[in-house]
Structure 1
Amino acid sequence: MSAVRDVVAHALREAAKYNADSSTPPAAVFWPDPDRAWEPVIGLLQEVVPILVLGEYDSAKAQGPSIWIRTILSASDSVELPAHLAERNDRNPWVIYLPGHGRSSLSDVTTLDSAVSPLAEVALRSNWWPSAYGQAAWTPHAFLGSKNGAGLDIASDAKTKSALTSVLDRLLAEDVHEMRRIGRLDASRLHSLVMTDSVRALLEWLDDPEGTKQALEGARWEAFVEACRSTYGFDPRKDGQLTAATRLGARAGAWRDVWARFVDNPRRYPSLPAVLDKARPEGDLFGGTDPHPDSWPSWNQEQENQLRKALADLDKQNDLGQVRAAVSELAATHLRRDESVWGELGQAPLARVMGYLAELAELSTTPARAGDMQAQIVWYADEGYRVDDLALRAIAAATTAADRDVVCKALKKVYDPWVEATARAFQTAAVAGYNGQIGLDVNRPGESGDSDCWEGWSHAREHHEAVSVGAEGSGGADGRGTSEG
């Protein structure tokens, strides 16, 4: 990998070349930068090129006044330099970086600034970058886009130049060949270097605008704003949180990916559901039917309320077939909400209940298998227990007293008839072929005997009776099937 930074370093080394037959080695390479455009990345370049910076003394930055720089050029061992400063040798000459100064600052002796005057004599024995006298100092945009520089295809509009300033440190670390392969580098592509996950940043901003702005700050915030403008069609500085939330709920264009990421991990953004509800459009905003009504938490709550009423209305039905058909229809309408983001957040408990009730309604159409007690035990252990289990799961899924009340009323209609029929089948088998025993010896595990059969029957019957009593206590089954045993 050859980083863009290495291209800059190579150019600075090339500026130190001289004709050994006619010239002496240059004392240094002077680098003018009147606009201070390179200043934010000098620290990165110092890792590959020995750069001394003209300015107020700061040993950690290898920065100091002109006299200090002359001292280093004369006897570098006498001055302590930072460890990260690249080792100087014939291949790596000293580079003197002049932020805020152009070449004329040292070439015109009549207007010498006192800040640079001690370097005037050194400049006469040194090379410059760029080397041609009168050539404008290299700006990052000019050098990186030049065939004599990095050879990148960089757009020249104001937004791109501004973006380049913001992400220059990141761009220098990129592979120059990869950057050339990408093609035209505009503001959007440059910002993507620092904003690698704009979708996550957008969701975090929707969840907490102020906190996210503080966390991003600087170049990353500017990159985020640009990504919102170019990709998502809004400006977070002007349009605000509710505008973005409305577009998130509409899921058009690039917002589909944002919604998919939210659904993938909604608990990561705890404040976002409330924001979505505030942004829910009123009236006929979508020109008829909202294409994504399930984007709004309040819609889901409306559906839960309708389902609660529909379950309560089952109590008015007396035909078991009609009750089962109604349960199946309600499940087809509402069960998908259990798989939605609101189900994931636990805001659709009755939708989950419908999955259990629909399966229970289907399984309960199969009556208990006729036969002796052993056949009853085998049937319950293989199949019958599933109906009881679904009833328990339906009750457990109801999270409020009001929900449990309507669930138990629904169970009374669709589950109690099965409990009654099953209990009577068990009783018939018991009357026909079962002789009760008192003081039965129960073998320990591993011992043989008829107790295994008795234990299996006891477990099945206890489970069955517990469900019947539980349903009765909750307003469901009346328990008559077990009271006659």
Structure 2
Amino acid sequence: MSGQEHVPLTILEELCRALHRAAEYNPQDQSMPAAVLWTDEERHWEPLVPRLREDLPQLLTLGPYVPEERTGPAIWIRCMIDRVLPAADWPKDAVPILYLPGVSRLGLRAVENCPRELQPLAELQYRGIWFTQENTRDWTILAFLTSRRGGLGLEVAPDSDTREAMLQALPKLADTPLAEFRGRRLHAADFRALLQPDLARELLRWLDNPEATRNGWTADEWQAFCGGCRNQYGFDPEKDGPLVGAEKLGARQGTWDAVWVRFSEAPQAYPKLPDLLRRAKAEEYDLFFRPECWPQCNERAEDELRAALARLSERAPEAAAAEFEQLGACRRSRAALA
């Protein structure tokens, strides 16, 4: 808004601001830094770099020569930083930001042992500024989210499952308003929900058509789906497969009952699922067996109903009417349970 400073709302915007802050210097008593050096040994930030480049034309990436993406080898980067190439067209007062995926700060600092492909960049550490945590370590995603010194100060569970889910959800996480994360401790389920916001629906879609549904997801979305199913439903789609999933769906135990309710609300949306349920039917002597959930049991009950209705013609009118009402009540009860 005019006359007001824009307050960043997303993680991507905050990261962009942090990079701008790293490049700040006092021109009264300091020379302009040659570059901001952003090392990322684990390459965790890599998915966000194309997005950052939209707002940071001075962002250069070490990698194969792809000049239209401002990416190239060390010697090309030096030429860009020294502005000897026409493509170095960012504002003159903007400090170049050098993103170094797969490179650690320690590896770049050890000049005598620096890999040959990095040697043209090694001296920049003396004329540039590091974009790192206060302890000089790389900014990992977890550190940036949780640090109160240069980061966002969020509460995030430190377990490996949460870290894995956080990395998988990074592209979605980057665009999420920070207000959604404030005031609570974030766990794996919070990050997976960014990729699979309606897990029950996605589970039904996958059970209905496993191959097509899986092919429509990215690798991260698939991993988030599997992780969510393991956490919420005690079921691993990758290891257990759709037949086990259908058996659990029909059993309706625990959290699976809510999934069954979703299925029963719109069975036409999952036309192949009844056949899977037919193949997955549990043994009828099982303590928790629910016949109304299995197609063949319903078909048998319908056959018995038709036979009973046919026999009504042999009964006296008053008895037939009473039995008809009783048969109808049984069918309504079965439909309600399903």
Return closer, same or farther for 1:300/1:127 CA change in 2, 3 Å cut-off: same
Shift of residue 255, structure 1, vs aligned partner: 1.7
For 1:385, the equivalent position in structure 2 comes to none
Give CA deviations for 1:367-390 in whole Å, capped at 9, x if unaligned.
xxxxxxxxxxxxxxxxxxxxxxxx
Give me the whole-angstrom Cα distance separating, in 2, the residues matched to 1:35 and 1:205: 32
Return closer, same or farther for 1:37/1:324 CA change in 2, 3 Å cut-off: closer
Give me the whole-angstrom Cα distance separating, in 1, the residues matched to 2:301 and 2:114: 80
Give me the whole-angstrom Cα distance separating, in 2, the residues matched to 1:334 and 1:112: 78
2:236 aligned partner, one-letter code? D
Name which of 125, 137, 155 aligns with 2:157: 155
For 1:9, the equivalent position in structure 2 comes to 16
Give me the whole-angstrom Cα distance separating, in 1, the residues matched to 2:68 and 2:262: 43
Tell me, which stretches of 5 or more residues in structure 1 are unaligned?
82-86, 342-485
Return closer, same or farther for 1:131/1:158 CA change in 2, 3 Å cut-off: closer
Give me the whole-angstrom Cα distance separating, in 2, the residues matched to 1:106 and 1:320: 95
8 Å contact kept, 1:4–1:176: yes
Shift of residue 338, structure 1, vs aligned partner: 6.4
Shift of residue 97, structure 1, vs aligned partner: 0.8
Residue 20 of structure 1 pairs with residue 27 of structure 2: yes
Give me the whole-angstrom Cα distance separating, in 1, the residues matched to 2:234 and 2:182: 28
Give CA deviations for 1:275-332 in whole Å, capped at 9, x if unaligned.
2122222242126xx4x42111112111111112212212322x32222222222222
Residue 331 of structure 1 pairs with residue 332 of structure 2: no
Structure 2 counterparts to residues 23-42 of structure 1, below 5 A: 23-42=30-49
Shift of residue 77, structure 1, vs aligned partner: 6.8
- What SS class does the counterpart of residue 150 from structure 1 fall into? coil
Give CA deviations for 1:388-418 in whole Å, capped at 9, x if unaligned.
xxxxxxxxxxxxxxxxxxxxxxxxxxxxxxx
- What SS class does the counterpart of residue 308 from structure 1 fall into? helix
8 Å contact kept, 2:9–2:179: yes
- What SS class does the counterpart of residue 195 from structure 2 fall into? coil
Give me the whole-angstrom Cα distance separating, in 2, the residues matched to 1:338 and 1:161: 44
- What SS class does the counterpart of residue 176 from structure 2 fall into? coil
For 2:285, the equivalent position in structure 1 comes to 284
What is the CA RMSD across the aligned residues, in angstroms? 2.4
For 1:322, the equivalent position in structure 2 comes to 319
1:54 aligned partner, one-letter code? L
Residue 311 of structure 1 pairs with residue 309 of structure 2: yes
Residue identity over aligned pairs, in percent, reads 37
Give me the whole-angstrom Cα distance separating, in 2, the residues matched to 1:300 and 1:31: 63
Shift of residue 76, structure 1, vs aligned partner: 7.2
Structure 2 counterparts to residues 127-166 of structure 1, below 5 A: 127-130=129-132, 135-148=136-149, 149-166=151-168
Give me the whole-angstrom Cα distance separating, in 2, the residues matched to 1:48 and 1:246: 50
Structure 2 counterparts to residues 86-165 of structure 1, below 5 A: 88=91, 90=93, 92-130=94-132, 135-148=136-149, 149-165=151-167
- What SS class does the counterpart of residue 193 from structure 1 fall into? helix
Structure 2 counterparts to residues 311-460 of structure 1, below 5 A: 311-317=309-315, 319-336=316-333
For 1:260, the equivalent position in structure 2 comes to 261
8 Å contact kept, 2:81–2:88: no
Give me the whole-angstrom Cα distance separating, in 2, the residues matched to 1:121 and 1:152: 35
Give CA deviations for 1:327-376 in whole Å, capped at 9, x if unaligned.
222222224556787xxxxxxxxxxxxxxxxxxxxxxxxxxxxxxxxxxx
2:300 aligned partner, one-letter code? E
Query: Which structure exhibits the higher relative contact order, with contacts defined as CA atoms closer than 8 Å and separated by 6 or more residues?
Result: 2
1:227 aligned partner, one-letter code? G
State TM-score, norm by structure 2. Answer: 0.89
* TM superposition outliers: structure 1 runs of 4+ over 6 Å: 338-341
Tell me, which stretches of 5 or more residues in structure 2 are unaligned?
1-7
For 2:5, the equivalent position in structure 1 comes to none
State TM-score, norm by structure 1. Answer: 0.63
8 Å contact kept, 1:154–1:186: yes
Give me the whole-angstrom Cα distance separating, in 2, the residues matched to 1:209 and 1:220: 14
Shift of residue 120, structure 1, vs aligned partner: 3.3
Return closer, same or farther for 1:242/1:330 CA change in 2, 3 Å cut-off: same
Give me the whole-angstrom Cα distance separating, in 2, the residues matched to 1:110 and 1:233: 52
For 1:457, the equivalent position in structure 2 comes to none
- What SS class does the counterpart of residue 17 from structure 1 fall into? coil
Shift of residue 63, structure 1, vs aligned partner: 0.2
Shift of residue 93, structure 1, vs aligned partner: 2.7
1:174 aligned partner, one-letter code? T
Shift of residue 113, structure 1, vs aligned partner: 2.6
- What SS class does the counterpart of residue 286 from structure 2 fall into? coil
For 1:61, the equivalent position in structure 2 comes to 69
Give me the whole-angstrom Cα distance separating, in 1, the residues matched to 2:67 and 2:153: 34
8 Å contact kept, 1:3–1:172: yes
Return closer, same or farther for 1:286/1:76 CA change in 2, 3 Å cut-off: farther
Give me the whole-angstrom Cα distance separating, in 2, the residues matched to 1:302 and 1:137: 65
Shift of residue 147, structure 1, vs aligned partner: 0.9
- What SS class does the counterpart of residue 24 from structure 1 fall into? coil
- What SS class does the counterpart of residue 31 from structure 1 fall into? strand
8 Å contact kept, 1:88–1:94: no
